A and B are shown apart, each in its own frame.
Chain A
Amino acid sequence: NAGVMQNPRHLVRRRGQEARLRCSPMKGHSHVYWYRQLPEEGLKFMVYLQKENIIDESGMPKERFSAEFPKEGPSILRIQQVVRGDSAAYFCASSWDQGEEKLFFGSGTQLSVL
């Protein structure tokens, strides 16, 4: 049984392009969290989603960033009109239940904006 799957592992975009990051949670998990990690820094919460619902997006920038977790398929983190400051590692985590504090992380997507 695969763990949390993220793709692509590496994504290179030019300024102004769109970046789409995908995350498939562990089997049986219906709660997805996205975190951003800058070099030499910790993990910053972005958004928490359940199937078809955004529960907490307090860590997400108000513009250019959006996230979804459709009924079928992976969760998507979308960054429109990327800028150099968006370059970072983006990690997805999943949990079985809302009250389950244990997070299972994917290997991340390294976004580089040229």
Chain B
Amino acid sequence: GENVEQHPSTLSVQEGDSAVIKCTYSDSASNYFPWYKQELGKGPQLIIDIRSNVGEKKDQRIAVTLNKTAKHFSLHITETQPEDSAVYFCAAPRTGGFKTIFGAGTRLFVKA
């Protein structure tokens, strides 16, 4: 079945530095790759996504890159701020959209 691996599990950066979180997936038929941010006490919220016909997508300080050959995609956060501190999840919906498989999550700490 589909498997999504996410690294690192914890990431600590200084405010203003960049943060990179990586995920690999197993289902070569996957064609949609979202990233979710979960703040304490809240549900995950979609922050950016990419489809397989695109190699990179950017939205202000966040960007996602996709390497379909290697089956991995990454989240890049530049100029990090304390409010970026949260748990980030990558995901890979199964073909047909019935079930989205989430990575184990990365807890990001941005130190002021």
Interface residues of chain A, those whose CB is within 8 Å of chain B, are: 4, 6, 33, 35, 41-45, 48, 55-56, 58-59, 91, 93, 95, 98-108
Bound complex: CA of A107 vs CA of B39, how far in Å?
A: 10
A-B complex: 4 closest residue pairs judged by Cβ atoms: A105-B43, A42-B104, A43-B102, A101-B93
Interface residues of chain B, those whose CB is within 8 Å of chain A, are: 6, 32, 34, 36, 41-46, 49, 89, 93, 96-105
Cβ contacts under 8 Å, A103 to chain B: 34, 36, 44, 46, 100
Min CB–CB distance A54 → chain B (angstroms): 11
Q: Are A41 and B97 in contact (CB under 8 A)?
A: no
Specify the chain A residue showing the minimal Cβ separation from B100.
A103
Specify the chain A residue showing the minimal Cβ separation from B51.
A101
Cβ contacts under 8 Å, A41 to chain B: 104-105
Bound complex: CA of A55 vs CA of B97, how far in Å?
A: 11
Bound complex: CA of A41 vs CA of B6, how far in Å?
A: 12
Bound complex: CA of A100 vs CA of B97, how far in Å?
A: 7
